[in-house]
Amino acid sequence: MSDSPALNAPPPGATRPATPPAAERTAGPAQLVLLLAGSCLSVLGAVLIAPVLPQMTQAFAGTPGVDVLVPVVLTAPALLIGLTAPFAGVVVDRIDRKRLLLVAMLAYAVFGTAPLYLDSLGAIVVSRVLVGLCEGAIMTCCTTLIGDYWSGARRARYLGLQTLVATLSATAFLALGGVLGASGWRTPFWLYAVAAVLAVPMALAIWQPARPAAPAGRPAPLPWRQLFVPCLVTLFGGMVFYALIVELSFVLSGIGITSTGTIGAISALMSLATAAGAVLFGRLSGRTPRALLPVEFGLSAVGLVLVFATASPVVITLGAVLTGFGTGMLLPTLLTWAVNRLGFDRRGRGTGLWTGALFLGEFLCPLILAAVGAGVGGLQGALAVLGVASAVVGLVIALVLRRHDRPLNVTED
């Protein structure tokens, strides 16, 4: 008989067999460490160069619009992650998780280190846009692979660990950026080369998971009704999470605290509280979103209102710690709520949509706070409005979400 592919092709509606070699592999600590390290690269892009922005402003003082362009160097990656992560999710589901991850890692290293030799501020901004494009792909791939490699309570715990590691790395990258920046504003950009170093063990230890048997033809459609509310809440949650990360130093300066050491210590306490919240989430993942989200938004609301209500550094620190603790639980809750029940052929697209919503909220946060602050008398007033909105969102979730919603550690596959 003929071995023609046409004669051996599966009939319409037939299933594609899974790939046995990948199915037999079991992920362990090496894969987890690599995926968590990759997840930190979006944090690296967001905070590493913050300490050298004043130096960049001086270096390009003769460039028209420098006061606008230099901050864009820091914020452009977050906007690009928000806009492109959903498209990365489509590539992840339709083509290959591993190949996209490795290409994005290498491109991240190239574009991230480009400011070391670029002499035009406009060209540096373009390189940062491309960094954001890579970050969207890396974040989507790493989170999707965590969902692929583990399931149930372990998956929920590792998604919480992803938030914990990212939070702690933000504090470390800020400090490292300041130390490296003492040698010149270009020096911190060398650290972006770490992505190329990470790509080597990723190429060896990460694999494309076996694709479960599925009907031939079009990929399974996304359950938009299941994803719409989690992604919408995540858009707002991104603003709550990012508010004090961006604005706490301005609040402290406004009440007369000018010591960078004091501001750094208070910011570090908030970061530690965020990490503690992420750790606690691992123990609470057996509860439902309806049980957790009102508490998390409520804690954030109380913290933001405390930051508004006083000029006392002690009370503001308490408010920052409460907000950090609430958002430390909030992010893994939102992520697990959105993607934990998606099957293999939908997980990448769902993760991309969630990642886009989160980073779009982070990008919009300072813009919205500035607009609200202009109408309510300043930054602290804007934070109070955000706190009230957070309480309202928590209350609406408690009333609207179904009482029989399943625990977060219940998975689809």
- Do the Cβ atoms of 144 and 348 come closer than 8 Å? yes
Classify residue 224 by burial, with Cβ atoms within 10 Å: 0-12, 13-18, 19+: exposed
d(CA 175, CA 191): 13
Residues of the chain with CATH 1.20.1250.20: 25-211, 220-408
pLDDT at 215 over 80: no
- Radius of gyration of the chain from its Cα atoms, rounded to whole angstroms: 22
Which residue carries 């080369």 as its tokens? Answer: 193
Tokens of 394: 């928590």
pLDDT at 325 over 90: yes
pLDDT at 413 over 90: no
171 vs 322: which has the higher pLDDT = 322
Q: Residue 224: what pLDDT?
A: 82
Average pLDDT over residues 357-365: 90
Classify residue 313 by burial, with Cβ atoms within 10 Å: 0-12, 13-18, 19+: middle
d(CA 340, CA 344): 10
Average pLDDT over residues 242-266: 81
- Domain 25-211 superfamily per CATH: MFS general substrate transporter like domains (1.20.1250.20)
Q: Which CATH class is domain 220-408?
A: mainly alpha
- Do the Cβ atoms of 318 and 306 come closer than 8 Å? yes
Average pLDDT over residues 232-248: 90
Q: Give the CA diameter of the chain.
A: 87
Q: Residue 222: what pLDDT?
A: 78
Q: Residue 9: what pLDDT?
A: 46
pLDDT at 254 over 80: yes
